[in-house]
Structure 1
């Protein structure tokens, strides 16, 4: 007798309470193995594939693509056991084996108890039982199996699922055949944007390399479709303003960023100090380091050198590697330095974290910054890679601006902002010269220190930028 088990959206960590269904990886009527990814969801921090802790036949899915589900809400139900998972014609013929298990393409089986002794709980990818998942295979259950699964679903989860199985709607055996030919889209974010706005990707011509469809291509299609639709509405009421208005929900990543920025401004009495710096020496040092490594050696990035300078400055001014415990009314100084860096992506602003930055060389920092930047761009950062920073470095110079007053990344105590590096007239060694100049801005929590500490930190960073040899004094 089949047992229908309900799998709910697990706690994805770091206080997240909801996730959006981006893409279903299984269909109703499909056989799944223990720890097989069944759905791709997007949290406010990352894109995550969620594995199912049960093995058997999917009898219902909950939530359409693009719909937000709360943690603990049903994701799907799985009919566990031989009656629900045996292929058509297997019962009574002996072809399914004496134990009634379901054989996958390699001959491995799902046990009659559906892996009840093999389930791993509501876990994330890579943290399950460790057993390799069986290949997915759709089955067409016998009428008795469909009725058994439907009866269990109606008794366990009736009314909850968008795709719940009923006696009038037996387990679906086959999914609709997709249209032939691949769609030249890499980013799941672009696919979701098109899906949410009804854009057929196959009709677009991509502007990226080899015809790759980019976010800008989808946005142009959305705008082109909206313009005639708006003008064709007869007797439509006049908008509140000539340009109309667009309402964008503050949810997902944008909502989390909004909440965090608001909390930072509400709780932290911040102050900002800044200084113009001659970065010619730092650029020369970077060129020399990369030349010494040879043509095949990984290049050291400018951001890595700035991060290395920040770790040295925090060793001298540990007051800024801290947070305030408002409940206990205590300043908590942190021994380890985890540097976050602001990264702009298609999903919005994210802050990946370099763990134990104080123990890394410039080469190691550059390698890790490059890895995290790539993961941020393709949306594959994990929640753990986006949390736990103790100090943030914000290079807004890449946007072509000279200065800013950064908002502190709560609950940190400080953030260093770096403007663009541009040639400017500068007095160097008593003479006017053209030098590579940037502006550094330090925003700090005035509860953890006074202006003297903040000024000392910023001045030390500036001295290292102007004369990188200053770093050697502390070695």
Structure 2
């Protein structure tokens, strides 16, 4: 038997260090070749680090949230053969029975005294769930049949996609407790749902008969990974940018009629259109008259860079937090091309598959909370951009027109601007131009 040390690989693009955001294995686990070991976070994207060899985990090289340099020790494995490290220098803590009995203590002593840690327990963990059976639906319809979950052998590491692992971490679930029903023993989102349902049922049975039991528990959740990136970016934007927000109401009755007509004619062959492609088109046309808004401001160098092409950031909510994939050259896309690209980017972002290039380089951002959009919002500018356009909820309401009360479909645009670069009058005129284009949608197609 030998020792194999896996070092933090070079992610590329000159990145010197990354943040360790998730461990997929623990000390004592047996791993297979190409099995995911850990997730690390660059400036924008999460990357899973696979194992190049099979072996048994002896020590973990870092704690969650730790910044690790490229080339530093990530993990130490016991492998068949000689390995790639001198056994005499790589056996601190060894691989005796105590490691399996107390992996956390073993990890702390394994890498020359450097403390390491597997994923910390940030939420109460429930016991393993019982295997699922076919269950009737909540209200009518055919029964929902689940594949019989597979039990893992003792010490066998759970297999799951990065998206499932991130969701489990956010929910405070240890994957080793979750029975799997996917191919080759992979844990799926449905398995997490079943585990949660089982845990809730157990909790309900335990509290049956109690009118209102006092709740005294607390949770301490480390702000790491994408959530830390979001927090730092929002803080940086509010600290550095003097925001001002301008709100305008739009009558989108005609636009909605056009959208419905286009979807009826072409939805089956070209895809359904949401409001986003129309708003993107209106912004592209309006920005031609306001190039100072389609810009990025390097306030340290004192330079504003204006762009002829519109690289539109589309804020997308994911399980891990808010990300902003970029619709490149929105000015060159028609409505359906825009809709298809927005859908592709959103799916990639939610699945954690968006690339670094797809998550950087925007020149202005469009954000929407959809049905949760409220009446007014104060969106935070995506630094170093100088403007963000926010879409609020669409509602029907009575509107006075020429002495008559009409029912119209309306919504607000809540937009924020960097007052160092954009004057209030220019911001108002820009939004008024967007408003005019959307309220007279035929003008969207006049180039």
Normalised TM-score (structure 1): 0.66
Per-residue CA deviation, residues 46-97 of structure 1 (Å, 9 max, x unaligned), is 4423356xx6665766538983453323124689xxxxxxxxxxxxxxxxxx
RMSD of aligned Cα (Å)? 4.5
Q: Distance in 1 between matches of 2:239 and 2:293?
A: 19
Does residue 18 (structure 1) correspond to residue 19 (structure 2)? The answer is yes
Q: Distance in 2 between matches of 1:367 and 1:26?
A: 44
Residue aligning to 2:196: 218
Does residue 187 (structure 1) correspond to residue 186 (structure 2)? The answer is no
Kindly tell me: are residues 21 and 300 of structure 1, through their superposed partners in 2, closer, same or farther at Cα, counting changes over 3 Å? Answer: same
Which one has the largest radius of gyration? Answer: 1
Return the offset for 1:419. 0.6
Does residue 255 (structure 1) correspond to residue 228 (structure 2)? The answer is yes
SS, match of residue 423 in structure 1 = strand
Kindly tell me: are residues 212 and 9 of structure 1, through their superposed partners in 2, closer, same or farther at Cα, counting changes over 3 Å? Answer: same
Residue aligning to 1:410: 383
Return the offset for 1:12. 6.3
Residue aligning to 1:92: none
Q: Is the 8 A contact 1:270 1:443 kept in 2?
A: yes
Q: Is the 8 A contact 1:393 1:415 kept in 2?
A: yes
Residue aligning to 1:152: 86
Which residue of the other structure, out of 369, 393, 402, is the alignment partner of 2:366? Answer: 393
Return the offset for 1:331. 1.6
Which residue of the other structure, out of 293, 297, 314, is the alignment partner of 1:320? Answer: 293
Kindly tell me: are residues 286 and 177 of structure 1, through their superposed partners in 2, closer, same or farther at Cα, counting changes over 3 Å? Answer: same
Return the offset for 1:418. 0.8
Query: Which consecutive unaligned segments of at least 5 residues does structure 2 have?
Result: 95-105, 113-151, 182-187, 208-213
Q: Distance in 2 between matches of 1:319 and 1:211?
A: 45
Per-residue CA deviation, residues 229-285 of structure 1 (Å, 9 max, x unaligned), is 9xxxxxxxxxxx996654333222222111111111111011111111101111112
Q: Is the 8 A contact 2:373 2:391 kept in 1?
A: no
Does residue 306 (structure 1) correspond to residue 279 (structure 2)? The answer is yes
Residue aligning to 1:357: 330
SS, match of residue 465 in structure 1 = helix
Q: Distance in 1 between matches of 2:220 and 2:76?
A: 35
Return the offset for 1:358. 2.0
Equivalences for residues 67-146 of structure 1 within 5 A: 67-72=64-69, 73-76=72-75, 141=80, 145=81
Return the offset for 1:366. 0.4
Return the offset for 1:404. 0.4
Per-residue CA deviation, residues 68-127 of structure 1 (Å, 9 max, x unaligned), is 453323124689xxxxxxxxxxxxxxxxxxxxxxxxxxxxxxxxxxxxxxxxxxxxxxxx
Return the offset for 1:17. 3.1
Segment of structure 1 superposing worse, 247-256 or 186-195: 186-195
Q: Distance in 2 between matches of 1:68 and 1:280?
A: 49
Q: Is the 8 A contact 2:61 2:75 kept in 1?
A: no
Per-residue CA deviation, residues 160-190 of structure 1 (Å, 9 max, x unaligned), is 9949699xxxxxxxx95578x9999982223
Q: Distance in 2 between matches of 1:465 and 1:280?
A: 10
Per-residue CA deviation, residues 364-402 of structure 1 (Å, 9 max, x unaligned), is 110011112222333322333222221111112431512
Return the offset for 1:429. 5.7
